[in-house]
Each structure stands twice: as structure tokens, then as C-alpha cells.
Amino acid sequence: MSSLPPVPGRADDSGALPLPEVPAERDLPPGHHLAHRELLLEAIRADRRATARRRGRRHLPRPFLLPVAASVALAVAVGLAVPGADEPDLVPATVVPVAEGDPSGAPALLDDIALAAAGDEVRVEPDQFVYVESLVSSLQVVVDTDTSPYTTQIHSDRPRLRQVWTSPDGRRGLLVEEGEEPAEGLPLEGTGDADLQDPSHDFLTTLPTDPEALLEMVYADGRGAGGNADQRAFSTIGGLLAETLPPPDLGAALYRAAARIPGVVVVEEAEDLTGRAGVAVARTDEASGERVEWIFDPASFAYLGERTVQTRETREGVPAGTVTSSVAVLSRTVVEDLRALPDERAPR
């Protein structure tokens, strides 16, 4: 059985590569459709009666009990826990002033960044692991049903720690992210293949360190994938810099390649998820108004992280300046084993 066939004109029709198939859709177990339908209508009728009785009162008591539907003995407490202001995993979304980007400053800044990146070679032995530790957060829009009328709240995940260990060949690894299951971490078992969208460390060492050749490869990788080619190239390079330990020559070349992408600007004031102030190299996707910002230390030009800022209000009511995702890199280095931490924090 195959999963739902892709439907022309839908999102998955963008020249999409095959994705893992999911099982074909199934009906509810026999009899359950009608039972649930009856429960739903019973709940609706009960709510209408209750509302009529309580005219003038603002809030429904929560939870209220649903009458037992004929032949189906079920007590349903209606009173849904929808993440709201008291949601411990969410914090209000960050909204920042949208500073104008400066296109003229990008090449010079990226050159400084490239020079800073071109330091000593970091060698990763086959039995060692690249370790990257970051703080991550994404936008979550939730509906609060505790208010009347209901309100939409623009939240972000509470910033959480993400730790990734990967062997240089990409075959072994571990991901531990706060709040995600399993708590002890998810083994990452790669195939040993790698590409520009999911690079292993070994793969990175095979890439050209000539900016022009690199740029050509990046654009070729995105060809046929739809969307704005320049934005895609910028995003691909961003991906090669994030959660990796790029060889210094490659890092420098990636920054020099990015400097050649049309539309890349400097944003003078950017802050990473930990609050570190930086200067950003950025590009706005005109179609969506999202600006992807790579943030660097303004003095050392070290890479601090990446964030995405919505530069104009969306139809969905997400205001201009909302940070839709943010990643701050806290540590990236080489360690001896899975779960091992950098030396200074190893257990004594």
C-alpha cells in the first residue's frame, strides 16, 4: 500500500524528492465513528444548554461533564489544556526592531569573518566525535481558550539545550535535546552518505576551498528545488556552518562565497539567543519577509549563532520583528566519545 498520492499543486509537488512513506490512511475501528460523532453532538448540546442557563456569565466552568451518550458509557471532561500563559515550555516570542540592512558593508564584513575563520586546522580522528552544543528556540503560535474571546498568543519555545555528537564519517552520533524524548538521547545512525544539506565532517573536508567553485556547487544543489535561488544558496551555506566544525579553509571560503550572493546585507545590531550582542550577515526572503541572520561577535568575528526575523507583519498576525527561530552556538569542539563533554567540564 502506498501513502496518500501526492496531489498536483500542493506543497509536496515542488519537484520533491521521495520521502519515507507512511502507512495508508485507515478508517476508525468499526462503530467508533458514530460513537464519537454522537459524543461530539452531545457535548455541543450540553454546552448550548449550559450557555443558555448562564447568560451573562463570562466563563464556562471548566471542566464540565458531558452527559453519557446512549449505549456508550463514557465520561468526558471537557476542558482542554491548551498551552497558554502558564505554559512552562513556552515564553513570549522575542520581537526586535527591524533594522535596515546595509548591502554595501557585506563583502568587507564577510572578509573580516573569513580571515577570523581561517585559523588552525582542527583535526578529527576517525574514533573521535564532533561535539556541538547550542541553545535553540522556535516560534510557536498557540490559541488560549481560557480567555473570552479566545486569543492567539505568539510564543517561542523556552530556549533549550541541544547537544549533538557525530563521528566524522557521519555514521555514529547522539542527539540530546531538552524536552525531547527519549531523555537519554537519540542515537544518530547515519548511512555514511553526506551531501550539502546534511554534511558529515569528512564530507566537509572534501569540499573545494575556492569560493567561486563552492558557490557554483551550492547553486547547483538548489537547482530545480523552487523558491528563490539566492535565498536557497544563502540557506545552504548557513546549514554548512551550523552544527558543524568546518575546516578553517572551508569556513573562510564559505563566507567569501556568501559575500557573492545578491541581496546579502549587514545588520549592525543582532543578538543571539543567549543575549550576546553581535553583528549579522543576513538575507531576506522577499516572498515571506523572513530574514535569516548569521550572528558574529563584533570584535573577534567568531560565529555566535543564527536567527530568523520576520521583517514585516504576516497575514496570520505575526508582527514585524518577531524572531521565528534562534540558535546560539555555545560550544563546538572535538571530544573522545559519545556523551563526553569538552575538557573543562569533564567530571573530575
Of residues 13 through 52, those in contact with another protein by CB under 8 A are 13-23, 25-33, 35-37, 39-41, 43-45, 47-48
Position among 55, 109, 142, 279 found at the interface with another protein (CB under 8 A): 142
CA nearest 258: which of 310, 312, 296? Answer: 296
**Least distance CB 216 / another protein (angstroms):** 8
Our CB check for another protein shows the closer of 118 and 330 to be 330
**Residue 237 neighbours by CB distance under 10 Å:** 24
Asked whether position 163 contacts another protein by CB under 8 A, the answer is no
Distance in angstroms (rounded) separating the CA atoms of residues 49 and 47? 5
Sequence-ordered alpha helix ranges (H) in 12-163: 32-53, 106-117
Per-residue x/- mask for another protein, residues 251 to 290, rule CB under 8 A? ----------------------------------x-xxxx
Binding flag, residue 316, another protein (CB under 8 A): yes
Number of residues that bind another protein (CB under 8 A): 107
Considering the rule CB under 8 A, would residue 188 count as an interface residue with another protein? Answer: yes
Cβ atoms of 324 and 290 closer than 8 Å? yes
User: Exactly one of 50, 77, 108, 277 binds another protein (CB under 8 A); which one?
Assistant: 77
- Contact (CB, 8 A) for 168 and 126: yes
CB of 279 to another protein, least distance (A): 23
Residue 73, interface with another protein (CB under 8 A)? yes
Beta bridge partners of 144: 151
In degrees, rounded to 5, the angle at the alpha carbon of residue 321 between the alpha carbons of residues 319 and 324 is 85
Q: Does residue number 55 form part of the binding site for another protein (CB under 8 A)?
A: no
Rule CB under 8 A: is residue 107 a binding residue for another protein?
Answer: no
| Smallest distance, another protein to C-beta of residue 33, A | 6
Can residue 202 be called a binding residue for another protein (CB under 8 A)? no
Alpha carbon of residue 160 to chain centroid: 12
SS3 sequence of 190-230: CCCCCECCECCHHHHHHCCCCHHHHHHHHHHHHCCCCCCHH
